[in-house]
Amino acid sequence: MISDIYEAKCRFIKTNFRPRGFEECSEVEVTKVVEERELDPKKLKISKFIAEGAYGSVYKGVYDGKQVAVKILDLSDEKRRATLTKAFAQEVSIWNKLGHPNVARLIGASKRLPEVSRSGKRRKWNFVARNHSWEKHRAGYCIVVEYVSGGTLRSHLLKNSIIGRRLSLNAVTKLALDVARGLSYLHSKKVVHRDVKTTNLVLDKEGRVKIIDFGVSRVEASCPTNMSAETGTIGYMAPEVLISLPYDHKCDVYSFGICLWEIYSCSIPYSGQSPHACSAMYKSRRPEIPNTCPSSLADIMKQCWDDDPKKRPEMQEVVLMLEAIDTQKESHGCFCFK
């Protein structure tokens, strides 16, 4: 599939998650979290490998007749088990409370993996893609969410850029509004995503953007001062996150500013830079805004990625600013490439 090829070629550098603040999570706690959305693993059929994540692998599958995405958290490594168990409980607990058109829907979770079928000429559930196979998942948890068929926003933007297709200001604004509305909703629920980037944003068949992956998300109300872990993806992380200062939901606003630049430019931020060079660079620098970018969009980018978190707007304010853009008046010269 062409989007998979673009995704493979253009995957951005991800930081190693530092599990500070992860206390032990008991089996009882996990059971309590899963109870509300417990699914039957016997109804879950896996079809193909999609991607490798910080905590495990993601697969495409079918649950109870509907297409789904399945995140498998591999617990075979004893050293990572406590961290992964806590991550699983937190992700399911947060995602279970969310319901918004711009947030992918959680279907359920299980502490048991689907059974392996050995029928037929080959093992039915043997998934091999870049040396990824079902055999390594001997112990683990699974999270099942709706399958969003349009691929990631990253792959969508890069496809347009590579074939030289213009992305209108109306299209740019629509994509940005979807993301902004989703984040505004999360923040209204006191949820901080902490890894907002275009590979964690997916498009459905109508072209609507949905936010996915709450593996490192936190409920802000329960930890207003102790979020200081260097969590996220280089190039999208706010300066205060990078240097391990306490931070809040405004770190998502910074990340949105980078995503908005990416949506307009159809380019990867800090492309070609090493992680070290990139980290040092964006403490004081930001991606270069193309000369063709309308001032209304450029102003939003600059406000969102301000060094001072207190000066960044709330996401609901960003929604209002984007809604106020006259896409007809300012559309001249808005392209998805320089």
Q: What is the pLDDT of residues 179-200, one digit of tens each?
A: 999 999 999 999 999 999 999 9
Which pTM does this prediction carry?
0.83
User: In the chain, which stretches have pLDDT less than 70?
Assistant: 1-31, 53-55, 115-139, 221-226, 271-284, 330-338
Structure-token pair, residue 123 = 């093992």
Task: State the Cα–Cα distance between residues 332 and 338, nearest whole angstrom.
Answer: 14
Q: Active-site residue 195, yes or no?
A: yes
Q: Which of 74, 178, 195, 252 is catalytic?
A: 195
Q: What residue ranges in the chain does DSSP mark as E strands? A: 44-52, 56-63, 66-74, 106-110, 140-146, 191-192, 201-203, 209-211, 218-219
Residue 237, number of CB atoms within 10 A of its CB: 26
What per-residue confidence (pLDDT) applies to 220?
84
Question: How far is Cα of residue 29 from the mean position of the Cα atoms in its chain?
Answer: 25
Domains, the chain, ordered by start? 2-146 (3.30.200.20), 153-323 (1.10.510.10)
pLDDT value of residue 138: 54
